A and B are shown apart, each in its own frame.
Chain A
Amino acid sequence: MFVERINMREKPKIAVFKFTGCAGCQLELLRLEDIFLDLLEFFDISYWVMVKRENQEDGPWDISLVEGSISTPEEIKEIKEIRKKSKFLVAFGDCAIGGCIPSIRNWMPQMEAETQVYHDTSAIHSTKVLGIGEYVKIDAILKGCPPHRENILELLKSYLLKTKPRLRKHPVCIECKYRDNACLITSKKIPCMGPVTSAGCGALCPSLNRECEGCFGPMSNPNPEALASIFRDIGLSEEDIIRKFRKYAGTSIEFQREAGLR
């Protein structure tokens, strides 16, 4: 009658890793502050450099939350090591899923990007910015830049209950309508990415009259081509449209065409 958590001899060990990204996803984990101590009843934090002085460096870990994209040969090696020591590997946030904002540099020649930042590029040997899934098998993804705390919680709970987490795949429009918001596109001609973007944020931006930037990445079976024509119709230039689709998930199969891949 009542769901039971799976039997575990000891608390599952969590590790949090960061690659190329801004650490915002980790901060979102910390934003669970009001229930953070409750979480510690169920999980051991075994590796998390941002919050712990002593970290268990060699695993194995039950759950590894990996933030950030992979952008150097060292990172490729590292993520493969982490995979070996992790039972359940989570691509934690958009960077780990598909490169997110750092992946904007994939759209320009490597040298150009490097010289824009560094005087001396001789020590720089970056690769294309890609999600961790390009190099290792991932067991779950948490969409968002950053993922919403409720989604993080849902994933952790589902681990304890051994269920598939209920993470939203439908567009932001659904959550936006739940909140009785008028459509920014039709009412105000504001280019909102909501109709192609995965929900899970509770329609945060549109509820504040700001267009959805698309930070949860593509929804299931989106129609980006249609949205691009709508943007064109409300007066966006081709460059603007490309920028919109490139921003958070330009490397995704769903958006890459509208992001300018020819």
Chain B
Amino acid sequence: MKQSTDFFLLEKNGIDILVKKFLEEHKVFGPIKPGHDSTFDEIKSPKELHLDYISTVLPPKKFFHPPTENLFSFELIENTEWTYKETLHDEKTVLIGVHPCDVHAILRLDRFFSEDFRDPYYLSRRENTIIVALNCIEPSEYCFCESMGTGPFLEMGYDLLLTDIGKKYLLETGTYDGKKLLDGLKLEKADKKDLYEKKKLLEQAKKKFKRHVNTDGLSALLDDDTHDWDIWTKLAENGYPGKSFPCLSCGSCSLVCPTCYCYDVYDVIDLSLKKGVRKRELDSCQLLEYAEVALGGNFRRDRRERIRHWLMCKFGMAAGGDKSGCVGCGRCIRICPSKIDITEVARIIRGE
């Protein structure tokens, strides 16, 4: 529910008060390390939180669509009698310190997992989670959210929003749930000057990006199936000149991608052969086994086809459409041992 926005100011150590308040009734998760390779993890006391993080290895996707999870368990009691139990999670959770790109990614996954068939596993977690977002004042060298329209500042998708405006944090409410979370806290109201400061910082942040993608007309270029882009072959065989190594098909890019949702499903049965679980775990289209069908047929056997599929998907040209498209978080660029850079690929396709 969209509410009128309240603007507050928070001392730097005011975050501690906020976190303590959250901890009263929620599990709280946030970045626990500074730097590029931080991780979102459980925060049990305010001092564990590191809002000075740059990025995390896995995006907050891992809370809603974890790397591995049980769908249900089953147990055979007698010949034709068994028990069956769904494994749904609905713990009240607060995610704090989520960057704008990741919030946008969550919004896309929200749409993806609720359209047509609803995914109860994703949605039950999601519906019980409050997002406290954090605007980005200092985009990292890998970031290009500005090009993708997903940052560096956030306009939607948050319950609460923090912006570091120098000596203090500007705290904005986005939803009723967010507002309610602040109940009982005595907070200083922000004034016009603070909002102006935020605006100024946004303008400054926009200028700090080192990576850009011109998305204008990119999909039309890729959709032109009369053109066989040799970039896919290059990525699979040599890397693009002087800058990258060939793709390893290691799948890291898709696993750290905040909008990649593909998963595999399998059963695990214990040694009694009577008790087991059906699991799902994140899969990657970069893996040979991904498109394998019965009798060893494979619809994307070549490395070239696989890296092409992933990049097309991120450019919004696969079945997930814009819901699986890129949000410019830069994780895949940082994680790729072969230094394959999606912004560079876009430039090459555009002939720039």
Contacts and interface: CB of A to CB of B under 8 A. Distances in A.
B67 A186 contact: no
B76 interface: yes
B248 A196 contact: yes
Interface in A158-190: 160-161, 166, 169-171, 173-174, 177-183, 185-187
Contacts of A227: 248, 337
Interface residues of B, number: 42
A139 interface: no
B249 interface: yes
A59 B289 CA distance: 37
Contact of A177 (B246, B256, B272, B289): B256
Contact of A186 (B239, B288, B334): B334
Given A220-B289, A227-B337, A1 B57 contact: no
Interface in A8-29: none
Given A220-B288, A230-B338, A173 B251 contact: yes
Interface residues of A, number: 41
Interface in A113-135: none
A3 interface: yes
B289 A223 contact: no
A253 interface: no
A38 interface: yes
B15 interface: no
Contacts of A222: 248-249
A126 B251 CA distance: 42
B299 interface: no
B56, B74, B250 — most chain A CB neighbours (10 Å): B250
B281 interface: yes
A183 B147 CA distance: 26
B273 A195 contact: no
B245 A180 contact: no
Nearest to B37: A182
Contacts of B87: none
Interface in B134-187: none
Interface in B43-69: 56-58, 62, 67-68
B288 A221 contact: yes
A233 B335 CA distance: 16
B287 interface: yes
Given A169-B288, A186-B337, A177 B255 contact: yes
A230 B36 CA distance: 21
B327 to A, nearest CB: 18
Contacts of B247: 223, 226
Contact of B57 (A5, A157, A160, A177): A177
A38 B270 CA distance: 11
B266 A166 contact: yes
Contact of A174 (B39, B82, B251, B267): B251
A1 B334 CA distance: 45
A227 B246 CA distance: 9
Contact of B252 (A161, A183, A225): A183
Given A171-B250, A186-B334, 7 more contacts: A2-B82, A35-B271, A174-B251, A178-B255, A179-B67, A196-B248, A222-B248
Interface of B: 36-37, 39, 56-58, 62, 67-68, 74, 76, 80, 82, 239, 245-252, 255-256, 266-267, 269, 271-273, 281-282, 284, 287-289, 303, 334-338
21 contacts: A1-B82, A3-B273, A5-B273, A160-B273, A161-B269, A166-B266, A170-B289, A173-B250, A177-B58, A177-B67, A177-B256, A179-B67, A180-B56, A180-B62, A181-B57, A182-B335, A186-B334, A195-B248, A220-B289, A221-B249, A221-B288
Interface of A: 1-3, 5, 35, 38-39, 42, 153, 157, 160-161, 166, 169-171, 173-174, 177-183, 185-187, 194-196, 220-223, 225-227, 229-230, 233
